[in-house]
A and B are shown apart, each in its own frame.
Chain A
Amino acid sequence: MTDESTNPMRDAIQSAIAENTVILFMKGTPEAPACGFSARTVAMLQSLGAPFAAVDILPDPRIRQELSALSNWPTIPQLFVDGELIGGCDIVTEMYESGELTQALGLEPAAPAEAPEAAPAEAPPLTIENRL
């Protein structure tokens, strides 16, 4: 049992979520995703030109453990916007296809896109924080 009041890993995750408007917990990094679901989620965010922070959960198993305990969500990736869990790859995909993701990210509505597979022609601005 861990005492909730002294859980530095959970505190660090909570701060990261609080301090970054858009933050993606993923397997690997945006440059080198280690899982197809993480890769697809990164591709969708990048195709919308959304700046986001990313945390690789693989280096320490406690990251995933504490994250899932916090978010009540068992799988990776997990996308948070304004401190709230948006969902995993499935939900992000549905929202991407319906245009809701653009809205959730507070971006200008663009023409609805259909294929998140292709890499964007131009790399959007990224803020990567791997501090956990």
Chain B
Amino acid sequence: MFATSDATPLELKSRIEAAIPGSSAEVTGDGHHFNAVIFAPAFAGLNRLAQHRLVYDVFGDELGGRIHALAIKTHATSEEA
């Protein structure tokens, strides 16, 4: 559904927020290289590897292809935050 056009920061933000419950994402990028800062209660109790894997899983094979690079910074937030 997204595969025919360049990725946009807004698309990445929407997809992350839709896939990770309660998350909020700030995404910047030029269509190929992106930077995402993500806050999510789902990250609590997970180590960094597991947190980043949750985000990578949103995009699967698109990483390295359509989404050339995605730099990630994750922050756990409490549910009420």
Complex alpha-carbon distance, A74 and B69, angstroms: 11
Option from B48, B60, B63, B71 in Cβ contact (under 8 Å) with A87: B48
Question: Which B residues from 60 to 81 make CB contacts under 8 A with A?
Answer: 60, 63-64, 69-73
**Please, how many residues of chain B have a CB less than 8 angstroms from a CB on the other chain?**
13
Q: Is the CB of B49 within 8 A of A87?
A: yes
Interface residues of A in 86-116 (CB under 8 A from B): 87-91, 94
Chain A contributes a number of interface residues (CB within 8 A of B) equal to 13
Residue of A nearest to B73 (CB): A90
The answer to whether B63 touches A75, judged by C-beta atoms less than 8 angstroms apart, is yes
Q: Are A85 and B49 in contact (CB under 8 A)?
A: yes
B32 located at the interface, meaning its Cβ lies under 8 Å from any Cβ of chain A in the complex:
no
| Contact, CB under 8 Å: A90 / B52 | yes
User: Contact between B49 and A74 (Cβ–Cβ < 8 Å)?
Assistant: no
Q: Which residues 26-81 of B sit at the A interface, judged by CB distance below 8 A?
A: 48-49, 52-53, 56, 60, 63-64, 69-73
Asked if A6 is at the interface (CB within 8 A of a chain B CB), the reply is no
Q: How far is the CB of A17 from chain B (nearest CB, A)?
A: 15
CA distance A125 to B76 in the complex (A): 38
In the assembly, what is the distance between CA of A92 and CA of B71, in Å? 12
Q: Per a CB cutoff under 8 Å, which of B60, B63, B64, B71 touches A89?
A: B71
B48, A91: Cβ atoms closer than 8 Å: yes
A74 and B63 contact, CB distance less than 8 A = yes
Contact surface of B with A, Cβ cutoff 8 Å = 48-49, 52-53, 56, 60, 63-64, 69-73
